[in-house]
Amino acid sequence: MRRAFEFSAAALRGKRGTVPWMLALVSGLVLMQLLFVGVLTAVHAIPDARIVGQLASDLDAGLWVGSDEAVDPVTRGGRSDAYTDCIVITAGLGDDGINPLRSALTLPHLGSCQPAAAGISALLAGETPPVEATYARYWGGFAVFTRPLLAFGGLGALRIFAATAAIAAVAGLFFVLRRRTSVWVPLALVAPLALTTNLLGQVGYGVIHVLEFAVMVACAIGGVLAARHGMFLVGAVSVFAGGVFVFVDFLHNPPLAWALFAFSAAASFVAQRRSESHPVRQAIVAVVVASVGWIAGYALTWASRWGIGILSGAATFDEIAGKVALWTDGSGEEAVAAGLGGGIRKNAHFWLTFVPFAWLVLAACLLLVAIVIVVAVRRKAFPALGVAGVLAAVAVIPLVWLEVLPAHSQHHYFFVYRAIPGAVAVLAAAAAMFFVSERPRLTPARDARGSAGG
């Protein structure tokens, strides 16, 4: 077992060649799907009665309410995603007639907040409320966190954990990215999200968003660490990171997770090799590998979930195909602007109109970009400017996503809008990377001499 692990680890770093790397990657991806099913089955085996009791006590204490229209504590005119929160906290409840594996595959829930509150009261009274619906098209990996925490500590424990995990993840990304680039790169990457989104403000009535944010940032840390060991490992970790994120994701902010990972991994890779030749070419390779790898892992793992659902009878092909068509085509959806640019316009308008500091952050980002261009021209630092430009291309990812899923992007603008400041954050961080790329990287010997000299 140990030798097999060592061989796989070496293969994923590209030490055994391309074919072993591909075999190790495919094997790891398959094992990851099996692990996901096993872990979900285990957490769905937690007795429902304990979760019901905690949620009933929390409902009486006012920690959650039977209303889907919770006011967003940050944005004007927005709202918290209480609707999804109630689905998340009641995931797996209401149907005692199925085993844990079936519960994990069908993901039953009590519905949005009003029916969920009534359902909890019914379950507490020994009645069996009708299961509102199932979400077999999603992995529902958030249950790995929600069900154990709800069972042993209620909503308070879940919210404390989500907030702590998100803060720890951001601090971790800041630390590892600062070590490989400079303090300004992670600052430029994190500040727009902290100042102009409601992510951390969702702890009360949208805790799933905070959990997803913690996972996406943790995946970005993995990309930064992988970059130290070469492009083969970056490619492998990219695929695994996309798969891990879709495991917990409820289609809230995939473009933000995608862009955050691709930029962090590529910037770290470029920064550690800035003294080598052809920096722009290396930046292009890093961005392409990290971006393609992440979306491949995301898509394959989600397709795997659909396949498992259809083969097990937990979901139907028509159900999944209908939902995909709805979010991409928008047929029958009200308030969906037709034509190219509808998703970008609606989300950008919401961000710039209703979110504090949005205009200030956008202006600061554009000013930074202008300064970088002027400095690059004056210093004739065109290779460094080219590297920054390649990294800035990652900012296009969130915008493309908004157009590929126009109906979803416009219907759920009150949380999808985070893709816009995400693009701004990448643009600002890419501009900050200009100064990193322009600075020659010290060799280990020069580093040692510098340290010895104080």
pLDDT at 317: 86
Across 426-451, b (16+ Cβ under 10 Å) vs e yields bbbbbbbbbbbbbeeeeeeeeeeeee
Q: Say if residues 219 and 244 touch (Cβ distance below 8 Å).
A: yes
Q: According to the model, what pLDDT value does residue 324 have? A: 82
Torsion of CA 143, 147, 150, 155, to 10 degrees: 10
Per-residue pLDDT for 448 more than 50? Answer: no
Measured CA to CA, the distance from residue 66 to residue 68 in angstroms comes to 7
How many CB atoms lie under 10 A from the CB of residue 166?
Answer: 24
User: How many of the other CB atoms lie within 10 Å of CB of 335?
Assistant: 10
- Containing 109, the helix (H) or strand (E) segment is strand 108-109
- As a three-state string, the secondary structure of 290-357 is HHHHHHHHHHHHHHHHHHHHHHHCCCCHHHHHHHHHHHHHCCCCCCCCCCCCHHHHHHHHHHHHHCCC
Q: How far is CA 446 from the centre of its chain?
A: 39
Burial group, residue 73, by CB count within 10 angstroms (0-12, 13-18, 19+): middle
Q: How far is it, in rounded angstroms, from Cα 273 to Cα 441? A: 8
Q: In the prediction, which pLDDT does 76 show?
A: 64
pTM, two decimals, is 0.91
Neighbour tally for 273: CB within 10 Å: 18
How far apart CA 149 and CA 169 sit, in angstroms, is: 19
pLDDT, tens digit, 9 for 90 and up, residues 87-117 = 999 999 977 667 999 999 999 999 888 889 9
The amino acid at 373: I
pLDDT at 411: 87
Mean pLDDT of the chain: 88
Tell me phi and psi for residue 71, to 5 degrees: -75, 135
Query: 344 is written with which tokens?
Result: 């970008």
292-304: average pLDDT: 97
Angstrom distance (rounded) from CA 291 to CA 285: 10
Given a cut of 50, whether residue 32 has pLDDT beyond it is yes
Region of 64 please: left (phi>0), alpha (psi -120 to 50) or beta. beta
Question: Residue 335's pLDDT is what?
Answer: 59
Q: What DSSP string runs through 144-175?
A: HHHHHHHHHHHHHHHHHHHHHHHHHHHHHHHH
